[in-house]
Structure 1
């Protein structure tokens, strides 16, 4: 019998976040998230390793989170963003071209994180740190050197091709705005005049503008006074608080960035690619305002830019890779459109050479690479990466491809592949494993990892849909009894599921559950027609696909019809509520961080532009807004509900969870409401992440019919596991 992994093992897991290949392709830097139990924080460490796999990765940071690893042109400078204690050399006035000094290099030749204190950067340790740019000199050793000291921190950056300058994005308040921000920090009133009045994760918005700044890395003064502000390179628009300016410094000494140039940017989804000279002159608006653009990347000769572009109104259309010359009002061409697949979020477009762009694409239930010639037909690459592994991270430089690969039984690790293989029609796929982030963790565990397959089934309309199904290891539907089954629904809906490692699924399968993740209609990895069919509706198509997945697994002898459960986060929570309003199939369900009344929700979240485009204004189409809301069918919900929300979730406000909770309780339905204080549209800390899994599991376990009816002997392995792990088990 399987006893289940301990929730505490979550704290020992390291999850790959991003990869960055050095200019010559010989090394790869990567970041990996881990947990600090004492501080109850997730922290992202920075590592570097040779891409030939000849040496284990070397860890560069430990005590503070590092992000955005970026190589200098010499291949020895590795810059990153972090909030750390102020560089001691900076405090002593020794920021110069000699780096962080021979004494530091001598005492710390391996680059250990001796100055990576808990306080972070930009302060003397007595104040909350701000995020700044830091850099390691990997040739000389020593700790990272602080390159910026902006009072309110740096959000993004890039290094110049000459290795002597950098461009950063930072907010620059006027004196009046600074006074308002200080009042806000002291608990003063919130005053907003912007139409886009809030953004999830950014909170209530203000009128402070973010700009690009350019400065020399070796300047005597690396604070904001040592940088030149580019007045014509500023942030604007509803997307800017989260999307940023995304600066990219090109080989011809021009800087690409993204912003909204619309006359009313808060009421527009447009996000254009622009370029500008480092002295702030010659700004060019490359795109024409018809796309939401992201991730600009320069071609090797610097005359063209590749970027991710999407229809900012019709979110169901696939994101495509575009190429444009560095010209105002340029002719923009899609190089990936013929694939009818959206670009995945696991990496930005990268140039293989001057004529080919490589992008990760969402391809049915996998993330794969595609090679897109500027003049020619795009094609899939690495077809033999295996149908059990998917791409979780991607970068390309110096004819080396770095991939983060994951599978159901494999937490993501870094692999390196010669870029030359991308030029072949049927490349062999990943050949060198670079990291082994969790081998020790895997060796210590007793429970095997889950099995997984992609299952095709018919929905209620007779159309084929797929689900990624995870099984307890060695589960055999022909020999074993049907298993309790959790339907876990992805968010979006502009998203999809692939056979990747997830701790929650690992936890559930180790306790005997089958977990199914349907790629319901609206999922973005099956082409525009499959995704766009959802446009203008909510609930009916998705819930049909969810329920049909469960019916299929029951018919196949996999799922126990009396022990079916359902959960989903964000749009998955929306779909969960619609599903239980439609059927009593599930013994219990858990809609998480969802929207259940679109009419009352309008204007209280940060997505009003999307809802306006898809459904019109609620006072113009009240019947439509009511029809797409599961709250209007709450009289049909009899399934016990665990309803969760973040207290400061501006994507799916907590009042939505309250409405659903009170409504079903008024009807006498068993329900529980869980609110995470100070939390946005996520689950932030390790303690809360494990609490969420524990809450869901307990809800499902206690609502199994055998438990609810007091049948003795039900699932003894679960009671044994709970006792062994010190967790609350079944009654």
Structure 2
């Protein structure tokens, strides 16, 4: 599983003639994953073909209107000096006609995103820039000066909250968008005017190994903290950039964490606000005629109100329009959360995905009637891609996965309802053939119906019915008991993170098939707070994490444990992030489980608020911990440590700033102080997720050894490298 190719980032050529997808595999040293770009035939006739090869890898593929392919890579410039340092991610172009890739842009901060226009050779890239710098060359010189002085310090102002995000400290650079016009003539006069003295800066930074802007065609479009973690889209003609813009200024309450929608004129850099009604906007996409923007509008909620997401249409006016129309709700009354909106080629409808009862299907929303139609029956979809022309405008493409099948490319008929899409030849590997997946429904104490997936090993000598598809199969109803022996199976319960999430897709880090291959049954419950079951389902656990989410899980466990193929006395639980929180809470409420694994987990909710990267965000659900600490204390696992008797494996990464390492250390220390048999697996150079292949292997080896110790009464087999 660790060496299997991992697909992501599907994109389609404008004429629909070619699909490109990123394929990640472990690097030869096993210390990281390396992504290459592969072509996939949209017609399904030709075999996939590798397009790029380099030690650094490639990603962020995007097509130009003529079919040339842009991508980012930290590969060295062929013209650089032999002793050049390892470069950051730069922008490259691979001609449609073939040949070698050409270096287009090499900011010293690296490139974090690439967007192209459908009908013009206009490209927008995200690349951070030092506060006082105005050109890429100036930025490179300032960064070099810091390095030469061995300075790493950063200074933050009151309006720069947050100062950390997920796995890193922010700054000293700020986010910026740069526009690159590949259709313009790069004459010296225009280049000098745009860059403001590029040649002089180059002379002052003579030891810079790569020209940041080889063609002299890039200019700064927008900058500021408001662009952090932004969504970007271009109008088809490349004249307008639509982006989200976080409100800046001192952030003293959750209401200050709002993201507006803005339009930036590419020629002048003038910014106009399109929507600023207190909701947070995201995932913009401009219509094929350039007149409207579809995006997600999110009410982030409050302690007395659950969040809600909807699709909206926002007019994209020309520069002469003074009065802007309000956003129009496309999905009123639809009790699902749309995601990743994408226009059909004719502009008459919008495609999106949404979690729905253990799946994440594709939906089509008519922009006039607002009718929502489900296009696919099952599975989870990502990277929806629709060609601007070709295929009669009715074909779409995506990556599809399920709990049982890894992401793979498929073709969709945008007119068909409740369809099974056509699987295309994939550069990925085979799906697991030794497991069976069943859909389970359980009644919770309050009468709510809890949905779960149950993953079982396939019985010896009996292959799962694959219905013509390779690998493990998803069954919607319980099937014949499937065990690898006559003995009932030990059960492992995996708790998803979020908490606003769902077990509906393939998971690389918490992959149930790894446990099933070792002879375990694996239960994947979607308790209260899970998405895909309506807003009322979230409300059952909103601000009360230790109540309905806990009782829902326990109801699902007892329901499955009553099966004849499950050993009710050998049950363990584990999860990461919120799933780790829930594992901690379970440990303090019951001794039902023989072992518990808790990864990157919340332990003390009052203390967590001040150390996480986005403490204000948590106030939306729990309120101010100083003025109203009751909600935090009522759901905090640390207050129940004296009741914990179950052996626990605590796992945490030093670089995690979403759930800081202090949570894991405090948890393990408290367990040891109270006499609990607890182990602590610590990763000094991992963050919220364990991403390095060699560490992922150690993670699985340690977890499986811990489970074997407590569910099979085997001696703990400490991994050799630990």
| TM-score, scaled relative to structure 1 | 0.83
* Equivalent of 1:170 in 117, 122, 127: 127
Query: Following superposition of structure 1 onto structure 2, how do residues 594-605 of structure 1 map, counting pairs within 5 Å?
Result: 594-605=601-612
Change in CA separation of 1:320 and 1:349 when aligned onto 2, cut-off 3 Å:
farther
- Alpha-carbon separation, structure 1, partners of 2:457 and 2:73: 40
Deviation at 1:175, TM superposition (A): 4.6
- Alpha-carbon separation, structure 1, partners of 2:126 and 2:454: 42
- Alpha-carbon separation, structure 2, partners of 1:557 and 1:334: 49
Equivalence for 1:205? 170
Equivalence for 1:296? 284
Q: Secondary structure at the match of 1:564?
A: strand
- Alpha-carbon separation, structure 2, partners of 1:631 and 1:185: 45
Q: Secondary structure at the match of 1:33?
A: strand
Q: Secondary structure at the match of 1:414?
A: strand
Q: Secondary structure at the match of 2:610?
A: coil
Q: Secondary structure at the match of 1:366?
A: coil
- Alpha-carbon separation, structure 2, partners of 1:542 and 1:372: 32
Deviation at 1:37, TM superposition (A): 4.2
Q: Secondary structure at the match of 1:609?
A: helix
Equivalence for 2:525? 518
* Equivalent of 2:574 in 567, 591, 615: 567
Deviation at 1:124, TM superposition (A): 6.3
- Alpha-carbon separation, structure 2, partners of 1:427 and 1:541: 32
Q: Secondary structure at the match of 2:504?
A: coil
State whether residues 275 and 283 of structure 1, in contact with CA within 8 Å, keep that contact through their aligned partners in structure 2.
yes
Q: Within the alignment, does 1:460 sit opposite 2:445 as a pair?
A: yes
- Alpha-carbon separation, structure 2, partners of 1:56 and 1:266: 55
- Alpha-carbon separation, structure 1, partners of 2:338 and 2:149: 39
Q: Within the alignment, does 1:324 sit opposite 2:314 as a pair?
A: yes
Q: Within the alignment, does 1:550 sit opposite 2:557 as a pair?
A: yes
Query: Following superposition of structure 1 onto structure 2, how do residues 148-227 of structure 1 map, counting pairs within 5 Å?
Result: 148-175=105-132, 178=142, 182=146, 186=150, 188-194=152-158, 196-201=161-166, 203-206=168-171, 208-217=173-182, 219=186, 223-224=212-213, 226-227=216-217
* Equivalent of 2:353 in 341, 345, 360: 360
Question: Residues 167-209 of structure 1, C-alpha deviation per residue, up to 9 Å, x if partnerless?
Answer: 2222221458946992699364443334524333452223533
* Equivalent of 2:504 in 478, 488, 498: 498
Q: Within the alignment, does 1:10 sit opposite 2:2 as a pair?
A: yes
State whether residues 238 and 266 of structure 2, in contact with CA within 8 Å, keep that contact through their aligned partners in structure 1.
no
- Alpha-carbon separation, structure 2, partners of 1:300 and 1:205: 36
State whether residues 159 and 249 of structure 1, in contact with CA within 8 Å, keep that contact through their aligned partners in structure 2.
no
State whether residues 295 and 349 of structure 1, in contact with CA within 8 Å, keep that contact through their aligned partners in structure 2.
no
Deviation at 1:248, TM superposition (A): 2.6
Deviation at 1:521, TM superposition (A): 0.4
Question: Residues 526-574 of structure 1, C-alpha deviation per residue, up to 9 Å, x if partnerless?
Answer: 1111113222222222121112111011112343122101110111000
Change in CA separation of 1:351 and 1:181 when aligned onto 2, cut-off 3 Å:
farther
Q: Which moved more, 1:166-175 or 1:21-30?
A: 166-175
Deviation at 1:259, TM superposition (A): 1.2
Query: Following superposition of structure 1 onto structure 2, how do residues 264-283 of structure 1 map, counting pairs within 5 Å?
Result: 264=250, 268-283=256-271
State whether residues 381 and 422 of structure 1, in contact with CA within 8 Å, keep that contact through their aligned partners in structure 2.
no
Change in CA separation of 1:258 and 1:453 when aligned onto 2, cut-off 3 Å:
same
Equivalence for 2:372? 379
State whether residues 171 and 210 of structure 1, in contact with CA within 8 Å, keep that contact through their aligned partners in structure 2.
yes
Equivalence for 2:57? 65
Q: Secondary structure at the match of 1:353?
A: coil
Q: Secondary structure at the match of 2:612?
A: coil
Change in CA separation of 1:558 and 1:352 when aligned onto 2, cut-off 3 Å:
farther
* Equivalent of 1:539 in 546, 558, 564: 546
Q: 5+ unaligned residues in a row in structure 2: which ranges?
A: 134-138, 192-210, 318-322, 461-479
Equivalence for 1:49? 40
| TM-score, scaled relative to structure 2 | 0.84
Q: Secondary structure at the match of 2:593?
A: coil
Q: Secondary structure at the match of 1:512?
A: coil
Equivalence for 1:38? 29
State whether residues 543 and 576 of structure 1, in contact with CA within 8 Å, keep that contact through their aligned partners in structure 2.
no
State whether residues 244 and 258 of structure 1, in contact with CA within 8 Å, keep that contact through their aligned partners in structure 2.
yes
- Alpha-carbon separation, structure 2, partners of 1:337 and 1:469: 34
Q: 5+ unaligned residues in a row in structure 1: which ranges?
A: 1-8, 92-122, 709-718
* Equivalent of 1:637 in 632, 644, 650: 644
Query: Following superposition of structure 1 onto structure 2, how do residues 84-99 of structure 1 map, counting pairs within 5 Å?
Result: 84-88=75-79
Change in CA separation of 1:568 and 1:37 when aligned onto 2, cut-off 3 Å:
farther
- Alpha-carbon separation, structure 2, partners of 1:588 and 1:202: 29
Question: Residues 270-309 of structure 1, C-alpha deviation per residue, up to 9 Å, x if partnerless?
Answer: 1122112212344221111422222211111000011122
Change in CA separation of 1:348 and 1:60 when aligned onto 2, cut-off 3 Å:
farther
Deviation at 1:73, TM superposition (A): 0.9
- Alpha-carbon separation, structure 2, partners of 1:628 and 1:450: 36
Deviation at 1:407, TM superposition (A): 3.2
Change in CA separation of 1:184 and 1:198 when aligned onto 2, cut-off 3 Å:
farther
State whether residues 451 and 474 of structure 1, in contact with CA within 8 Å, keep that contact through their aligned partners in structure 2.
no
